[in-house]
A and B are shown apart, each in its own frame.
Chain A
Amino acid sequence: NAGVTQTPKFQVLKTGQSMTLQCAQDMNHEYMSWYRQDPGMGLRLIHYSVGAGITDQGEVPNGYNVSRSTTEDFPLRLLSAAPSQTSVYFCASSYSGRGGLYNEQFFGPGTRLTVL
Chain B
Amino acid sequence: KQEVTQIPAALSVPEGENLVLNCSFTDSAIYNLQWFRQDPGKGLTSLLLIQSSQREQTSGRLNASLDKSSGRSTLYIAASQPGDSATYLCAVSNAGNNRKLIWGLGTSLGVNP
Contact = CB atoms under 8 A, between A and B. Distances in A.
Given A107-B36, A108-B43, 8 more contacts: A41-B105, A42-B104, A42-B105, A90-B44, A103-B49, A105-B34, A107-B44, A109-B42
Contact of A104 (B31, B49, B99, B100): B49
Given A40-B105, A42-B106, A102-B93, A48 B46 contact: no
A58 interface: yes
9 contacts: A33-B99, A41-B105, A43-B103, A90-B43, A90-B44, A103-B49, A104-B34, A106-B46, A107-B36
A31 interface: yes
B105 A109 contact: no
A81 interface: no
A115 interface: no
Q: Please provide the 10 A-B residue pairs with the shortest distance between their CB atoms, ordered closest to farther.
A: A107-B44, A102-B98, A109-B43, A43-B103, A107-B43, A42-B103, A42-B105, A104-B49, A104-B46, A110-B43
Nearest to B47: A104
A107 to B, nearest CB: 4
Interface residues of A, number: 25
B87 to A, nearest CB: 11
The dominant DSSP class at the A interface is: strand
Interface of B: 31-32, 34, 36, 42-46, 49, 89, 91, 93, 98-101, 103-106
Contacts of B106: 42
A53 interface: no
B84 to A, nearest CB: 19
Contact of A100 (B42, B43, B46, B98): B98
A52 interface: no
B7 to A, nearest CB: 14
B43 A45 contact: no
Contacts of A100: 98
A65 B93 CA distance: 24
B43 A102 contact: no
